[in-house]
Amino acid sequence: CFVNGERNCITEMQEGPDYVRVKIISRDHLAGRRSLYTITAPSKDKKGWCWYSHVWVNTAISEE
């Protein structure tokens, strides 16, 4: 996993009978207005990669 392009996160995974729950925690304080989390995993056929990205916006910080 990556937070703002850096490998500075803690990953916790929980597998159930029909789901996988992944928890990502940044090791650093997120001081910016926007923070990008990216998770990568090998594809089921092991021939490529899959990824999921999510941008978090802290609206308490101005865009200036």
Q: Tell me whether residue 62 is in a domain.
A: no
Question: What is the per-residue pLDDT for 63?
Answer: 85
Q: Tell me whether residue 64 is in a domain.
A: no
SS3 of the chain: the string is CEECCECCEEEEEEECCCCEEEEEEECCCCCCCEEEEEEEEECCCCCCEEEEEEEEECCCCCCC
Q: Are 27 and 9 within 8 A, CB to CB?
A: yes
Give the pLDDT confidence of 46-62 residue by residue, as tens digits.
999 999 999 999 999 98
Q: Tell me whether residue 43 is in a domain.
A: yes
Q: Which domain holds residue 8?
A: 2-56
Number of domains within the chain: 1
pTM of the model: 0.75
Q: Are 8 and 27 within 8 A, CB to CB?
A: yes
